[in-house]
């Protein structure tokens, strides 16, 4: 059962707590929040008294978050972000509305960002707020109107607009480039955490079933691509993400791109169908 609102910590206390955890001190938090250091300390003491738990270990002038504080800080940061987006939405409603969009980091940087000026020029009254997410999540709970999703049209309780199918390209710095499949199978293969079987599947499609070398492991495409540029291994990446590197000669393709295992989709809660900024984004993406 939820606590009565009168028993909840104040916004000032939560903001001070989150800022101290993020910046590492009451002095830095004071500068972050445009308050005095004494005011921040008072808010932190008030929060600890209200919760009945120590949130920081005081070591000289330093504050070290307890385990309870570290866990609580993650929840508070998400809540404050949700309130921030809600406030942005309220301020923007009178004009054209705000659109909170979650994007995959590589897609957002390499495909969406270069095209966004055209969307904003066509829809100058829409305030766009973007955040990055790597995995599916609850759109309503996190306050997003829509998200860019890779895979299949299987996001729960959501509508889908397919943008395009993925095409994968093997590429490398010139120093690691080879002409035969055996050449590639002897080079370090850069790995992506979210696609652990990508190289095995690619080599199997080429008729190669032997052992494969391992390479560095990454959680996102951007650092993986940079590693390939610097000759640290071969990259297996969506072709749209390396157009600049290919054009500049910093990466060389091994062969033509091949179909990937999924596609890119815009997804949104079914209840948001009639939201004008979302309708504008859908129309624009369909014309891209």
Beta carbons of 262 and 152 less than 8 angstroms apart: yes
pLDDT of residue 5: 63
Locate all alpha helices (DSSP H) within 123-220, ordered by sequence: 139-142, 181-184, 198-205
Each residue's pLDDT tens digit, 215-241: 999 999 999 999 999 999 999 999 999
> Is 90 exceeded by the pLDDT of residue 152?
yes
pLDDT of residue 227: 97
Each residue's pLDDT tens digit, 203-212: 999 888 888 8
Closest-CA residue to 191 (of 178, 179, 204, 201): 201
pLDDT of residue 229: 96
Name the fold adopted by 165-262. D-Maltodextrin-Binding Protein; domain 2 (3.40.190)
Closest-CA residue to 245 (of 219, 226, 268, 266): 226
- Residue 230 DSSP class: T
Each residue's pLDDT tens digit, 156-194: 989 999 999 999 999 999 888 777 888 888 899 999 999
pLDDT of residue 96: 60
Each residue's pLDDT tens digit, 83-118: 777 766 666 554 468 899 999 999 999 999 999 999
Domain boundaries, the chain: 5-89, 97-162+264-287, 165-262
Q: What predicted TM-score, i.e. pTM, was given to this entire model?
A: 0.69
72: exposed, middle or buried (Cβ count in 10 Å: 0-12, 13-18, 19+): buried
Q: Please give the share of the chain, as a percent, with pLDDT higher than 70.
A: 92
Mean pLDDT of 139-156: 92
pLDDT of residue 88: 64
> Is 70 exceeded by the pLDDT of residue 20?
yes
Buried b (16+ CB within 10 A) or exposed e, 25-51: ebeebbebbebeeebbbbbbebbbeee
Token digits of residue 85? 């987006």
Each residue's pLDDT tens digit, 28-69: 888 998 889 888 889 998 898 888 888 988 777 677 888 888
* Terminal CA-CA length for the chain: 47
- Do domains 97-162+264-287 and 165-262 share one topology? The answer is yes
> Is 80 exceeded by the pLDDT of residue 120?
yes
Mean pLDDT of the chain: 89
Write the class of the CATH domain 5-89.
Answer: mainly alpha
Name the fold adopted by 97-162+264-287. D-Maltodextrin-Binding Protein; domain 2 (3.40.190)
CA distances from 15 to 1, 38, 85 (A): 24, 15, 15
């Amino acid at each position: 059962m939820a606590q009565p609102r009168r028993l909840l910590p104040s916004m000032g206390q939560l903001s001070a707590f989150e800022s101290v955890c993020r910046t590492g001190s009451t002095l830095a938090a004071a500068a972050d929040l445009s308050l005095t250091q004494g005011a921040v300390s008072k808010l932190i003491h008030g929060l600890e008294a209200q919760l009945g738990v120590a949130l920081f270990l005081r070591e000289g002038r330093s504050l070290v978050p307890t385990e309870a504080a570290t866990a609580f800080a993650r929840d508070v940061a998400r809540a404050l972000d949700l309130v921030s987006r809600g406030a942005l939405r309220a301020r923007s409603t009178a004009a054209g509305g705000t659109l909170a969009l979650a994007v995959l980091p590589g897609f957002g940087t390499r495909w969406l960002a270069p095209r966004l000026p055209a969307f904003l020029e066509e829809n100058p009254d829409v305030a766009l707020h973007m955040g990055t997410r790597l995995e599916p999540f609850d759109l309503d709970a996190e306050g997003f109107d829509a998200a860019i999703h890779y895979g299949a049209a299987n996001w729960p309780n959501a509508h889908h607009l397919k943008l395009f199918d993925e095409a994968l390209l093997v590429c490398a710095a010139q120093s690691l480039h080879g002409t035969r499949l055996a050449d590639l199978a002897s080079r370090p293969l850069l790995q992506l955490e979210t696609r652990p079987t990508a190289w095995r599947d690619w080599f199997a499609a080429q008729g190669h079933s032997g052992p494969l070398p391992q390479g560095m492991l990454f959680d996102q495409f951007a650092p993986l691509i940079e590693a390939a540029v610097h000759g640290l291994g071969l990259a297996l990446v969506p072709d749209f993400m390396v157009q600049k590197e290919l054009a500049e000669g910093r990466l060389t393709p091994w062969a033509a791109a091949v179909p990937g295992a999924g596609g890119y989709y815009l997804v949104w809660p079914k209840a948001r169908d009639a939201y004008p900024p979302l309708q504008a984004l859908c129309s624009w993406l369909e014309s891209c």
